[in-house]
């Protein structure tokens, strides 16, 4: 699919993927799914994952794994997929016009966890790789969605991914952290989905980290154009994505261990179910992974495995002033510098 006949002025040799790129990324994505499902099943201790293997009529398939009604997780879904077809859907072509008229290949792993205890945050990761005609790219990220506010957890989550980033490029964490805040943003609520983490897309070694806000997100919070950085090779980017993927369990497990034994009642459960509604709103209205899946005739049950098992909507809900629920809205659902967070930093707001 990718050849050396590309214009040498715009495509350096380092930007070409190796001949076994697809096989290597696929293997990593499957191994990441294995590593995570093993780690989560060990953590849960009661339930294990069930797997469905599926094929996509237009090409490719996947394996969907779900753990339900566990001790820690009310639902945990971890998907691997590898798909190909004659053309990418419009939602991607608008961002990657070079792929127009070309067939495509895509592989990735995605995960959403819905814990039972409202003090344990929901979390999402997704890593993906695309090839389409003359272009290839990596995308992905990880973001944490707490129901109750613990700055310590936000700081730990961000610190873990910052370390994975810093091993590769000093600009990765600051840029991808901001991109995450911008991407996981519910415009109609004027809220971030949670405390963020990392998000990146269209990383293809051509010396540009960020292309500006997605057209869907008209109220993007960050509009600065970012400087171009030195070209990065396919190998460098793949190594970065692998380190991000491997950072997930160390980023999340300590948070579960700290919060899973906290007692809770109806108030906390009801707030959790209510806040899960925002997850549904984000995934169905804004999320590009969901839209890509539904537009490419993906497996609906696997795509919508991200939706919570039980959800509430409540007209006109407002948190009580000075409550933990109010603190979530006031501090945790707005972009924050979690790495440098201190209690006085929060109080000063």
**195 to 157, 214, 229, 235, 340: CA distances (angstroms):** 9, 20, 27, 30, 14
3 state DSSP class of 59: coil
CA distance linking residue 76 with residue 113, whole number of Å: 4
Shortest separation between residue 241's beta carbon and a second copy, angstroms: 27
Shortest spacing between CB 184 and a second copy, in angstroms: 16
Instruction: Give CA–CA dist 198/169, Å, rounded.
Output: 14
Please identify, among the stretches 147-155, 186-194, 234-242, 245-253, the one whose residues bind a second copy according to the rule CB under 8 A. 186-194
Nearest-angstrom CA–CA distance, 149 and 271: 12
The dihedral built from the CA positions of residue 177, 289, 251 and 307, taken in this order, carries a sign that is positive
Is 167 or 219 the residue whose CB approaches a second copy more closely?
219
Least distance between a second copy and beta carbon 292 (Å): 12
Could you tell me which of 156, 226, 143 has the C-alpha nearest to residue 184?
A: 143
Q: Which stretch, 16-24, 104-112, 162-170, 274-282, contacts a second copy (CB under 8 A)? A: 274-282
Residues in region 305-334 near a second copy by CB under 8 A = 305, 307-316
Contact status: 294 vs a second copy (CB under 8 A): yes
Report if residue 349 touches a second copy, rule: CB under 8 A.
Answer: no
CB of 91: closest distance to a second copy in angstroms? 13
> With binding defined as CB under 8 A, does residue 277 bind a second copy?
yes
**Cβ-contact 22, 39 below 8 angstroms:** no
Q: Which of 189, 211, 228, 267 binds a second copy (CB under 8 A)?
A: 189
Exposure of 86 by Cβ count < 10 A (0-12 exposed, 13-18 middle, 19+ buried)? exposed
To a second copy, the closest distance from the beta carbon of 309 in angstroms equals 6
- Give the total of residues touching a second copy (CB under 8 A): 31
- 34-93: contacts with a second copy (CB under 8 A): 52, 64, 66, 68, 75, 77
221 binds a second copy (CB under 8 A): no
Rounded CA gap, 286 and 8, in Å?
Answer: 37
Span interacting with a second copy, options 41-49, 183-191, 226-234, 321-329, rule CB under 8 A: 183-191
214 is catalytic: no
Both tokens of 336, joined, read: 């924050």
Q: Tell me which of 87, 102, 114, 124 is the catalytic residue.
A: 124
- Render 148-210 in DSSP notation, one character per residue: S--HHHHHHHHHHHHHHHHTT-TTHHHHHHHHHHHHSEETTTTEESSSEEEEEEEE-SSS-S-
Structural tokens at position 81: 């997929």
Active site residues: 124
Q: Which residues bind a second copy (CB under 8 A)?
A: 52, 64, 66, 68, 75, 77, 187-189, 273, 277, 280-281, 284-285, 294, 300-301, 303-305, 307-316
């Amino acid at each position: 699919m990718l050849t050396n006949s590309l214009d040498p002025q715009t495509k350096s040799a380092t930007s070409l993927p190796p001949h076994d790129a697809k096989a290597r990324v696929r293997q990593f994505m499957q191994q990441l799914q294995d590593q995570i499902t093993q780690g989560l099943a060990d953590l849960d201790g009661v339930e294990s994952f069930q797997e469905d293997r599926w094929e996509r009529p237009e090409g490719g398939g996947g394996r969907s794994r779900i753990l339900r009604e566990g001790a820690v997780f009310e639902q945990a879904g971890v998907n691997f997929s590898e798909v190909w077809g004659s053309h990418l859907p419009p939602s991607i072509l608008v961002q990657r016009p070079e792929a127009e008229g070309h067939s495509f290949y895509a592989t990735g792993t995605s995960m959403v966890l819905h814990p039972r205890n409202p003090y344990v945050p929901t979390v999402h990761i997704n890593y993906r790789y695309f090839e389409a005609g003359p272009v290839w790219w990596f995308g992905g990220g990880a973001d944490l969605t707490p129901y109750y506010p613990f700055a310590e957890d936000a700081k730990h989550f961000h610190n873990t991914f910052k370390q994975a980033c810093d091993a590769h490029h000093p600009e990765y964490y600051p840029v991808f952290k901001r991109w995450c805040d911008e991407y996981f943003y519910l415009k109609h609520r004027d809220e971030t989905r949670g405390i963020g983490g990392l998000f990146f897309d269209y990383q293809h070694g051509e010396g540009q980290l960020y292309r500006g806000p997605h057209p869907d997100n008209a109220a993007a919070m960050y509009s600065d154009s970012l400087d171009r950085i030195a070209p990065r090779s396919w190998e460098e980017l793949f190594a970065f994505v692998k380190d991000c993927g491997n950072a997930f369990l160390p980023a999340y497990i300590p948070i579960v261990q700290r919060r899973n034994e906290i007692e809770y009642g109806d108030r906390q459960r009801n707030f959790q179910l209510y806040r899960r509604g925002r997850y549904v709103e984000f995934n169905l209205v804004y999320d590009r992974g969901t839209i890509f899946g539904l537009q490419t005739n993906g497996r609906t049950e696997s795509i919508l495995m991200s939706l919570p098992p039980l959800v509430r909507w409540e007209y006109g809900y407002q948190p009580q002033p000075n409550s933990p629920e109010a603190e979530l809205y006031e501090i945790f659902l707005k972009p924050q510098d979690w790495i440098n967070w201190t209690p006085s930093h929060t109080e000063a707001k």
